[in-house]
Chain A
Amino acid sequence: MARHWRAGAAGLAVLGLTLTACGGAKVGDSSSAGSESSGKCGTFNLAINPWVGYEADAAVVAYVAQHNLGCTVNKKNLKEEIAWQGFGSGEVDTVLENWGHPDLVKKYIDQQKTAVDAGPTGNEGLIGWYVPPWLAKAHPDILDHKNLNKYASKFKTSESGGKGQLLDGDPSYVTHDEALVKNLKLDFKVVYAGSETALIQAFRTAEKNKQWLIGYFYEPQWFLSEVPLKKVSLPPYKDGCDADAAKVACDYPVYKLNKIVSAKFAKSGSPAYNLVKNFNWTNDDQNEVAKYIAQDKMTDEAAAKKWVEANKDKVDAWLK
Chain B
Amino acid sequence: MTVVMEKPGKTESARPAAPVKEARRPSRFMMVAGIVVLWLVLFAVLRGKQTLALAAADLTDLHRWFNDVNDSIGANRNSNPLFLYFFNEIRLVIDTLVTFVQELISQPSGDRPLPQIGWLGVVGIAGYVSWAVGNWRVALLAVAGFTFLGLQGLWQESMDTLALTLTAVFVALLFAIPIGVWAGLSDRFNRIVTPFLDFMQTMPTFVYLAPLTLFFLIGGASATIATAIYAAPPTIRITAHAIRNVSRTTVEAADSLGATRRQSLLKVLLPMSKRTVVMGVNQTIMAALAMVTIAALINAPGLGVVVLQALQSLDVGTAFNAGLAIVVMAIVLDRVTTAAAAREENARRSNNRLLKWRRPLLGAGAAVTAVLVYLSHTFLWAADFPGDGTVGSHIASAADSATNWAQDSLSGVTNAIRDVITNGLLNPFQTLVTDSPWWLVGAVLVALSVVLGGWKSGVTTAVCLGLLVGTGLWSDAMTTLASTLVATVLVMALGIVFGVWMGRSMMVDRLIRPTLDAAQVMPPFVYLVPFLALFGPTRFTAIVAAIVYGAPVAMKIIADGIRAVPETTVEAATSAGCNTWQIITKVQLPMSRSALTLATNQGLIYVLSMVVVGGLVGAGALGYDVVAGFSRGELYGKGLAAGLAIVLLGVMFDRITQAAARRATA
Contact = CB atoms under 8 A, between A and B. Distances in A.
Contact of A26 (B57, B370, B380, B627): B380
B299 A170 contact: no
B27 to A, nearest CB: 39
A35 B113 CA distance: 11
B296 A297 contact: no
A204 B314 contact: yes
A104 B210 CA distance: 14
A268 interface: no
B299 A194 contact: no
B338 interface: no
Given A16-B371, A31-B111, A158-B540, A293 B313 contact: yes
Interface in A86-129: 86, 88-89, 91-92, 103-104, 107, 111-112
B114 A8 contact: no
B210 A78 contact: no
A28 B57 contact: no
B193 to A, nearest CB: 31
B108 to A, nearest CB: 9
A158 B418 contact: yes
Contact of A24 (B380, B529, B616): B380
Given A158-B427, A159-B539, A201-B537, A16 B632 contact: no
A57 interface: no
A233 interface: no
A213 to B, nearest CB: 9
B631 A171 contact: yes
B305 interface: yes
Nearest to B539: A159
A12 B364 contact: yes
A194 B210 CA distance: 18
Interface string B589-620: 00000000000000000000000000111111
Interface in A18-66: 19-20, 23-29, 31, 35, 50-52, 55
A202 B537 contact: yes
Contacts of A20: 374-375, 378-379
B74 interface: yes
Nearest to A78: B299
B324 to A, nearest CB: 18
Contacts of B381: 23-25
B75 interface: yes
Nearest to B363: A5
Specify which of B56, B377, B619 lies most central, judged by the most chain A CB atoms within 10 Å of its CB.
B56
A89 B539 CA distance: 39
Contacts of B407: 205
Contacts of A107: 71, 633
A195 B363 contact: no
A241 B55 CA distance: 22
Contact of A76 (B218, B627, B634): B218
For this complex, into which size category does the number of interface residues on chain A fall?
A: 35 or more
A103 B374 contact: no
B630 A199 contact: no
A310 interface: no
B583 interface: no
A78 B209 CA distance: 11
A112 B363 contact: no
A311 interface: no
B142 interface: no
A229 interface: no
Contacts of B627: 171, 194-195
Nearest to B613: A194
A198 B541 CA distance: 10
B312 A27 contact: no
Contacts of B659: none
Contacts of B548: none
Contacts of A209: 411
A158 B111 contact: no
Interface in A204-218: 204-205, 209
A88 B407 CA distance: 46
B219 A197 contact: no
For this complex, into which size category does the number of interface residues on chain B fall?
A: 35 or more
Given A29-B380, A191-B618, A85 B411 contact: no
B329 to A, nearest CB: 20
A243 interface: no
Contact of B210 (A81, A198, A199): A81
B113 A194 contact: no
Given A20-B375, A197-B312, A5 B359 contact: yes
B367 A12 contact: yes
A297 B318 CA distance: 10
A86 B218 contact: yes
A238 to B, nearest CB: 23
A104 B74 CA distance: 13
B537 A193 contact: yes
Given A8-B360, A197-B616, A172 B631 contact: yes
A171 B618 contact: no
B628 interface: yes
Contact of A27 (B114, B309, B314, B361): B114
Contacts of A199: 537
A19 B313 CA distance: 46
A23 B313 contact: no
Interface in B615-642: 615-620, 623-624, 627-628, 630-635
A310 B533 CA distance: 36
Nearest to B212: A82
Nearest to B614: A194
A85 B214 contact: yes
16 contacts: A8-B363, A26-B380, A28-B113, A55-B309, A81-B630, A82-B210, A85-B74, A85-B218, A91-B219, A92-B218, A103-B632, A196-B312, A197-B528, A198-B537, A204-B533, A205-B407
Interface of B: 55-57, 71, 74-75, 77-78, 111-114, 118, 209-210, 213-214, 217-219, 296-299, 305, 308-309, 311-315, 318, 359-361, 363-364, 366-368, 370-371, 374-375, 377-383, 407, 411, 418-419, 422-423, 427, 528-529, 532-533, 536-540, 615-620, 623-624, 627-628, 630-635
Interface of A: 1, 4-6, 8-9, 12-13, 15-16, 19-20, 23-29, 31, 35, 50-52, 55, 76-82, 85-86, 88-89, 91-92, 103-104, 107, 111-112, 157-159, 167, 170-172, 178, 190-202, 204-205, 209, 222, 245, 293-295, 297
3 nearest CB pairs, A to B: A16-B371, A171-B628, A172-B631
Given A23-B378, A85-B74, A202-B532, 11 more contacts: A5-B363, A20-B379, A81-B210, A82-B213, A85-B213, A88-B74, A88-B77, A158-B418, A167-B537, A195-B617, A197-B312
